[in-house]
Structure 1
Amino acid sequence: MHLTAYHLRVEYKENPLGIDRLRPRLGWRLQSGLRRDVQSAYRLIVSSSREALLGDSGDLWDTGKVPSDCSQHIEYEGAGLTSGQEVFWKVMVWDREGRPSPWSEPAVWSMGLLERSEWKGKWIGLKSPHAPTHAAPKPAVYLRKSLQVSKPVRRAVLYAAALGAYELYLNGSPIGNGSLNPDWTDYAIRLQYQAFDVTGQLAEGGNGLGVLLGHGWYSGYIGMFGYQRYGRDPRIMLQLNVEYQDGTVEKSYTDSTWKASFGPLVATDFQMGETYDARLAFPGWKEPAFNDAEWRQAEVFYDYKGFLCGAVCPPVKPVMELSPVSVERKETGTYVIDMGQNMVGRLRVRLSGEPGTTVILRHGEALDENGNLYTDNLRLTRQTDTYILNGEEEEWFEPFFTVHGFRYVELSGYPDVLSTEDVVGVVLHSALPKTGTLETSHPLLNQLISNIEWTQRGNFVSVPTDCPQRDERHGWTGDALVFFRTACYQLESASFFTKWLTDLTDAQRPTGAFTDFAPFIPGGKTEHGGDMTYDHTASAGWADAGVLVPWMMYQVYGDKRILQEHYPSMIRWIRFLQEMHPRHIREDLPQYGDWLSIPETGGIAELRNVSSLSTTPYDVFATSYYAYSVGVLALVAEKLGRHEEAKEWAELKEDIMKAYQKAFIDGSGRIKGDTQSAYMLALAMDLLPEDQRQAAVERLLQLLEQRNWHLSTGIHGTRYLLTLLVEAGQEEAAFRIMMKETFPSWLYSIRQGATTIWERWDGWTEERGFQRAGMNSLNHYALGSVGEWLYRYVGGIDYDEPGFKRIRIQPRIGGGLESARCQYESIYGPIACSWQQEAGRLHLSVSIPANTSASIRIPLKAGQRIIESGRDLGLSEDLRVIVHEKDYCLLDAGSGDYLFRVEGEPRKSLAPIEGQVPYSR
């Protein structure tokens, strides 16, 4: 098979609707049956109609043959695009020998509404008569309109912008599959709208358009800060643009002629839960013929004054369903439902009974010692749904605009029999494609990988949240920073973090300080008494996400535009720190530091009073991140061609390093605090003179050995620990820590039945039970940042060049593992690395996508030989030896599938293996 293009995408999305970038970026993957195949040239055709595209007429843009191996992030440079325009495109490529491919399959995108003046509708809704409380959130709003379609339709697109959360219906059927549209943004600044192609749902004649409007993040309970932080009542603006086959266009939109009502969804809140009274339902309210004479006129609200922009990432929606592992009836008559997995979403339950029967569902992550639902760690969140039956023979209840974090559900008030067949767990999160899989020969390690993935799914709900169950659910920047690389291995996170980085820039204070969570929540006191404006700004390791996450986006996805767009905000942050700390030492204390670290000495008994603090001194921690961010900013500036600025930042990094060394390192090389994390940060962030690095590694090993190879790190130190040890040549130590099953360790929580990552190492221990309920989430991804290490070193897949254009295959084999199988869907295509030890032989299987190359590091010993696909390595024309050392061989490889076998008895001499000569370019 010759080189061909597939998987065409625009701004990371396949055939997207509502793109509002005037110069969107295009990309594609390549596949080939040949090894070392690369793209030598491409030709893009972009057309205004499908017919023109099929006729090879690029009336919008025809690049001609472009000599280039670039297949991602190609910016559109054709004719100007207009609102709502459909754009059709395809690509042809030439392979390494200059042979052209067939045209790819056609792809399409459509533009959004590019000018505010093109929105003709009004913001409509209903004002609720009462203020929300925990027990009684405000009701949802029902809106509807009958529309006439008089002639055959060529194309129909519905645009929706809402302050709140909505579900849309056309002629009784749902529009789209999102469940919490729109995404959470700082609504005081920015709101995303969505576009839906409804051509197939629109009928000639009468049509009924319905809206169910909830509160979402806009006017519901949000963060830790109570209700209505952005606004009091939800509202929506719709516009339906219909293009008829005769070429005419008709626009319908929301205005005062729409009808509105409150209805059976009598209380709804994202965190607290929902109450649905089925006796109040409006049968047929979504249909065109429904009699809405008793409904009132919709209220018209003031116009929205912020930025209105197209949706960036996939919506929050149901992504899978789970069946419960058990449904147990208690002596009290209540049921306890065990989903077998700590999940995020809601239940769908089948019920039957007398009208007015009230069924209550309470959600929690665990059971107490008596087998009852444990909810102490939810703080003020209720996570309670209520359904009032209307008396039909069979009724299904599933909430609309609420999301719960739970494994167990207590169902009460139901007199009938409930079985596992009556319950479905509906898992919701931002619908990001799965990119990575990793399976090893160790069952507990596999469970850890599963736990990390489930924790990411539960906390990637529009923004990267800290937890999905209690009254918080913030986009904490520190957690997102340490987890970013792990996140990208598991789910394709490019569009998700593109959106969130805009949230972070929107949140940046006028001083230049980044906030500690994004989106920002304006004004006022928290319900716990804190002042959020001052308590949650400029914290080291949190605010630094504004510099470090864009840089990692570039590394993982090759996205240079993300650097260009956020470079000014990075500069404002560093200038803020320069002005605040002219001596280059951060002393603005206290901060979070190495959050949730544990003492270097002592046992579980000491944890209750210290585990929410940092055991690494705050000034050491904060100054480390200050230096690190400045160093990364220098790299960003260099990448953007700002060489003088790069020099300025590099010199500032040097000054901070010198100040750090003078302030925190004593004559014996000990770092202030003498903690595991202090040494790790100094080593990982390049803060030590070269002649002190080895001493720091040795002291780190001493501290680990003193704790019998248990870690003491918080969320920041944990991310760097195992990576640093491997890179320092201490693989055995890294595996010893990884495979620990006693407290504190990753596998300890699994031994206690965890199916997600805990917020704290001691979320539950055999000696003390649950940690303090005030801050003890059992679904918190920060300590799951070890997933990055697992994919990179056990799975063996990493990048050598940004975007995985050049790949590094480097499995590290240890910890008693016998095998691992890893795959990662990079933007260039699937990468695979599988290894197995068998009868003294190592088998390694590698797959590299077309148009990329790789370095492959194969562990071996002197005297052993490498066989590739049945032939001696020296006979392979597709592989070149770069380095042959005493314990590994480093190869240069192009695309293709490779099957290696390492065999032979080790010998003492280190003479080169016959036929394997060093590779020279």
Structure 2
Amino acid sequence: MADSPLLSWQLRGADPVAFQVEVGGVWSSGRVTDPAAISARYAGPPLRPGTRYDWQVTLWDRDGTPGTARSWFETGLDTWSAAWIAADPDAVEHVDPPTEGDLALRDHGLLPCPQLRRAFHARSRVAAARLHISAKGLYAATVNGHRAGDGRLTPGWTDYRRRIQYQTLDVTRWIAEGENVLGVTLADGWWSGYVGFDPRRPGYHYGRFPELIAELHLTYADGSAEVVGTDDAWRVGHGHVRYADLLKGECHDLRAATPGWDRPGFDDAGWRPVVVTGRDHTRLAASPDEPVRAVREIAPAAVTRLGPAAHLVDFGQNLAGRLRLALPELRPGTRVVIRHAETLDGAGRLDTANLRTADATDVLVSAGPATVFEPDFTYHGFRYAEISGVADLGEVSAVVLHSDTAWAGTFECSDPEVNRLQRNIEWGQRGNFVSVPTDCPQRDERLGWMADAQVFLPAACFNADVAAFFAKWLRDVRDAQTPDGGFPNVAPRLSGVAEEGAPGWADAGVLVPWQLYRVYGDPAFLDVDSMAAWVDFVHRHNPDLIWRARTGPHYADWLAPGPATPRDLLATAFFHRSADLTARAAGVHGRTADEERLRRLAGDIRTAFIKTFAPAPGRLAGDTQTGYLLALAFGLLPPEWVAPAARRLAELVEEHGPQTGFLGVNLLCPVLSAHGRADLAHALLRRTDPPSWLHQVRNGATTVWERWDGKGAPSMNSFNHYAFGSIGAWLYGGVAGIGQAPGSVAYRELVIRPLPGDLSWARASYESARGRIAVSWERAEGAFHLAVTVPPGSTATVHLPDGQTHHVPSGDHLFRSTQET
């Protein structure tokens, strides 16, 4: 992504014909005639670091009437003076917990979380204070005892060997004249804690212990400035957080608490000096996305007493987060243990088999007084929690955590079970968008699997504004790309975990940027050099254009319940798709030579695909649903072979139900609909026998499962896995009918084509990059009624089920037909 800020706006009211952007008196775009514009890239002189800039956009409509909107942004740091600091791990003074008996703590050798503090003096009134802060690991910062910022699990996960994000927090209101204290607690997080499932390297993927860097920039009322940074003047001690790990859980021993440690007046003479570990600032980068936040709390749906001091809490919803538990006064040393799980076993107790080595257990050791316990440096995937060690539960709630992407879409219809499916898809997105798009939030994995992300992305874009979230993740993807162009299977890259990219997984490095460009309209998503390097990598190792070499672990059509799609067919289809989309990306950027070269390559791959895998019209090698879906969706067949291939696909679906895995499922209903079989797509949607989406719903699912039927080896059975939830894109785009023309970006040219099936009504809305899109239809009084909202600056082609077509401008429109075909 470009470094210059993208200044964007969403439209309301009349269609614009021109715009002008002005930034803080330093740059103006001048009046630009562009009815399609919804953003402008800053192109003025270099911006000063650490500076707030006011900006405004003026839009003119056809009548010459202007309208103005205003906003602001702040720039980050260009240079750092602070040092990286840490607690000396070899000088940790443990307050060792018991190793046997009821109070034993299973700490896995994890170290206590260090508390770092720095007292400083503000000589007069402070007009502004900005805390720029990051960590190798996780941090929670306070200023005079007040939590700085509302982010959780900060600074987020990146490949720290390449890039470390920092946040900028406004802490002005907490700074007082005189003595002040910066306090920071550190935890291992993804940096040095347990991550993934590799038993040979369960932790220490990036480093051995967490480190901190921070600069507090003070601007006094008289205009003078001061910087308080991390250096050897900081002091470190240990308090009540005895360990914290994303997979294992977190332990608070309140007997070891140090009240007031992050406030003025605390005596830190017994604390140790920190260790300065380095001054390398080259990897620091400002966060481009919203952080993980605690976005809501959920009350229990049911509480069951398991014994005199044990309770089972059902929150009625599978989610990612942790518990907040109000505890009464307890005997000092009392150990309260919270275990988490997605499901129950046959005896009504927690079923933790699918967690593998993720203990997902939080512990509090009481100091006596009543308290509220909530972990700070961990999260779990769960619906159920077992709380032991306390006879009478106080208030308990589940705190939901996810990257705070603004919700953008709504969908509902006349079938309550389909509505539950949509809610399951939404909750799967929430639970797996935690700094990176993970596969699952519960077991010892939680990795940024690239196939899952690319398959689900169209649905994710309808549900929420994920532009910034995926802009950040695309940096992780590019950071993971090898010098010879190869993408891995997970991003951020994790050593030892499926490093060489598989077909459909590594291709996310091309498919994801293209989808984001289509939805949000920003060409900066398209890094043509990175995309072309991947295509050339595959080509270099497969000069005959059939992708058989360098396929990595080749997961094929993962978890497909039917016959296996030939691996080289599947791989070659994605090779063509990546070449084709990269050619289009080159065209967007005006790189004509690259576009022509890659178009020729895509055409040659298509020819090789037909020769190798299409022995006769309407037939493909392997004769699988996914094979036909890929060939039809990616345009791999001669025009005269398309109809017979679509008929064969429909025959297979009618005979067997869905037999697709991760790489075919997102295409299933869209391709059937595009080839005249919306009836069959609706039949799949409403199907209740396994494999089906509603089978999960009828069996109590509140998120989408990893496997169609929820069965299989317990160690490979996640109940919160969003890949099969990719059907959500068809709910918006097929059932409701919100789509855009092939050459359109950011919904400039809408195509509204509702596919009602046997539903009696449906409605959807979507806050697009351009403005609000809404569709609502119903069958009533023998007619089909359709209401459409087209955002300013857009047009729409509306297709009614009876074959009528209408071309309409922006605004609200009503349509009625009395006959459906």
Alpha-carbon distance change, 92 to 323 in structure 1, aligned in 2, over 3 angstroms: same
In the TM superposition, what whole-angstrom CA distance separates every residue of 1:481-535 from its partner, at most 9, and x where no partner exists? 101111111111101111111111110112211000100013xxxxxxxx53xx4
- 2:189 counterpart of 1:216: yes
- 2:409 counterpart of 1:417: no
Of residues 333, 338, 356 in structure 2, which corresponds to 1:361? 338
What residue in structure 2 maps to residue 805 of structure 1?
748
- 2:670 counterpart of 1:723: yes
C-alpha deviation, 1:727, in angstroms: 0.4
| Aligned counterparts of 1:229 and 1:343: Cα–Cα separation in 2 | 27
| Aligned counterparts of 1:181 and 1:80: Cα–Cα separation in 2 | 29
C-alpha deviation, 1:852, in angstroms: 2.2
- 2:203 counterpart of 1:203: no
What residue in structure 2 maps to residue 666 of structure 1?
615
Of residues 558, 561, 583 in structure 1, which corresponds to 2:521? 558
C-alpha deviation, 1:754, in angstroms: 0.3
C-alpha deviation, 1:150, in angstroms: 1.4
What residue in structure 1 maps to residue 299 of structure 2?
323
- 2:725 counterpart of 1:784: yes
- 2:811 counterpart of 1:847: no
**Given residue 207 of structure 1, which amino acid in structure 2 is its aligned partner?**
N
What residue in structure 2 maps to residue 647 of structure 1?
596
**Given residue 110 of structure 1, which amino acid in structure 2 is its aligned partner?**
E
| Aligned counterparts of 2:43 and 2:586: Cα–Cα separation in 1 | 25
Say which SS state the counterpart of residue 164 (structure 2) adopts. strand
Say which SS state the counterpart of residue 810 (structure 2) adopts. strand
- 2:435 counterpart of 1:462: yes
Residues 669, 730 of structure 2: 8 Å contact kept: yes
Residues 345, 427 of structure 1: 8 Å contact kept: yes
What residue in structure 1 maps to residue 11 of structure 2?
30
In the TM superposition, what whole-angstrom CA distance separates every residue of 1:879-903 from its partner, at most 9, and x where no partner exists? xxxxxxxxx2222222212233334
What residue in structure 1 maps to residue 444 of structure 2?
471
Say which SS state the counterpart of residue 10 (structure 2) adopts. strand
What residue in structure 1 maps to residue 695 of structure 2?
748
Say which SS state the counterpart of residue 792 (structure 1) adopts. helix
Of residues 509, 516, 527 in structure 2, which corresponds to 1:546? 509
The equivalences for 1:516-915 within 5 A come to: 516-522=489-495, 531-532=496-497, 535-563=498-526, 566-588=527-549, 591-600=554-563, 615-667=564-616, 669-707=618-656, 710-764=657-711, 771-800=712-741, 801-814=744-757, 816-860=758-802, 888-903=803-818
Say which SS state the counterpart of residue 155 (structure 2) adopts. coil
| Aligned counterparts of 1:540 and 1:358: Cα–Cα separation in 2 | 49
What residue in structure 2 maps to residue 112 of structure 1?
76
What residue in structure 2 maps to residue 487 of structure 1?
460
Residues 124, 237 of structure 1: 8 Å contact kept: no
C-alpha deviation, 1:305, in angstroms: 6.2
- 2:277 counterpart of 1:301: yes
The equivalences for 1:148-547 within 5 A come to: 148-225=121-198, 226-304=202-280, 306-331=282-307, 333-352=309-328, 353-392=330-369, 394-414=370-390, 416-418=391-393, 422-522=395-495, 531-532=496-497, 535-547=498-510
Alpha-carbon distance change, 71 to 691 in structure 1, aligned in 2, over 3 angstroms: closer
| Aligned counterparts of 1:777 and 1:536: Cα–Cα separation in 2 | 22
| Aligned counterparts of 2:399 and 2:381: Cα–Cα separation in 1 | 11
In the TM superposition, what whole-angstrom CA distance separates every residue of 1:829-884 from its partner, at most 9, and x where no partner exists? 21111111112122212112222222222223xxxxxxxxxxxxxxxxxxxxxxxx
| Aligned counterparts of 1:808 and 1:129: Cα–Cα separation in 2 | 65
In the TM superposition, what whole-angstrom CA distance separates every residue of 1:349-378 from its partner, at most 9, and x where no partner exists? 111211110011110000001101000001
**Given residue 315 of structure 2, which amino acid in structure 1 is its aligned partner?**
M
C-alpha deviation, 1:291, in angstroms: 1.8
C-alpha deviation, 1:43, in angstroms: 2.4
C-alpha deviation, 1:642, in angstroms: 1.7
What residue in structure 1 maps to residue 101 of structure 2?
none
**Gap runs ≥5 in structure 2:** 95-104
Residues 680, 717 of structure 1: 8 Å contact kept: yes
| Aligned counterparts of 1:128 and 1:273: Cα–Cα separation in 2 | 23
| Aligned counterparts of 2:196 and 2:39: Cα–Cα separation in 1 | 35
Q: TM-score, normalised by structure 2?
A: 0.95
| Aligned counterparts of 1:245 and 1:333: Cα–Cα separation in 2 | 56
Alpha-carbon distance change, 663 to 371 in structure 1, aligned in 2, over 3 angstroms: same
**Given residue 531 of structure 2, which amino acid in structure 1 is its aligned partner?**
M
Residues 618, 642 of structure 2: 8 Å contact kept: no
**Given residue 825 of structure 1, which amino acid in structure 2 is its aligned partner?**
E
What residue in structure 1 maps to residue 85 of structure 2?
123
Residues 83, 278 of structure 2: 8 Å contact kept: no
Say which SS state the counterpart of residue 820 (structure 1) adopts. strand
Residues 128, 138 of structure 1: 8 Å contact kept: no
Residues 339, 360 of structure 2: 8 Å contact kept: yes
**Given residue 688 of structure 1, which amino acid in structure 2 is its aligned partner?**
L
| Aligned counterparts of 1:817 and 1:777: Cα–Cα separation in 2 | 31
In the TM superposition, what whole-angstrom CA distance separates every residue of 1:274-307 from its partner, at most 9, and x where no partner exists? 1100111111122112222221112211234652
In the TM superposition, what whole-angstrom CA distance separates every residue of 1:222-253 from its partner, at most 9, and x where no partner exists? 12231111000101111011111211111111
Alpha-carbon distance change, 129 to 760 in structure 1, aligned in 2, over 3 angstroms: farther
| Aligned counterparts of 1:732 and 1:485: Cα–Cα separation in 2 | 22
C-alpha deviation, 1:68, in angstroms: 2.5
In the TM superposition, what whole-angstrom CA distance separates every residue of 1:740-781 from its partner, at most 9, and x where no partner exists? 0111100001110000000011214xxxxxx21121100000
Say which SS state the counterpart of residue 487 (structure 2) adopts. coil
Residues 241, 250 of structure 1: 8 Å contact kept: yes
Report the more deviating stretch, 841-850 or 132-141.
132-141
| Aligned counterparts of 2:665 and 2:3: Cα–Cα separation in 1 | 42
| Aligned counterparts of 2:107 and 2:196: Cα–Cα separation in 1 | 14
Count of matched residue pairs: 802
Say which SS state the counterpart of residue 173 (structure 2) adopts. coil
**Given residue 384 of structure 1, which amino acid in structure 2 is its aligned partner?**
T
| Aligned counterparts of 2:686 and 2:36: Cα–Cα separation in 1 | 42
**RMSD (Å), alpha carbons:** 1.8
Residues 189, 306 of structure 1: 8 Å contact kept: no
**Given residue 525 of structure 2, which amino acid in structure 1 is its aligned partner?**
I
Q: TM-score, normalised by structure 1?
A: 0.85
Say which SS state the counterpart of residue 30 (structure 1) adopts. coil
| Aligned counterparts of 1:893 and 1:665: Cα–Cα separation in 2 | 42
C-alpha deviation, 1:73, in angstroms: 3.0
| Aligned counterparts of 2:82 and 2:344: Cα–Cα separation in 1 | 53
Say which SS state the counterpart of residue 412 (structure 2) adopts. strand
Alpha-carbon distance change, 152 to 71 in structure 1, aligned in 2, over 3 angstroms: farther
Residues 160, 238 of structure 1: 8 Å contact kept: yes
Report the more deviating stretch, 326-335 or 513-522.
326-335
| Aligned counterparts of 2:505 and 2:645: Cα–Cα separation in 1 | 25
| Aligned counterparts of 2:46 and 2:613: Cα–Cα separation in 1 | 57
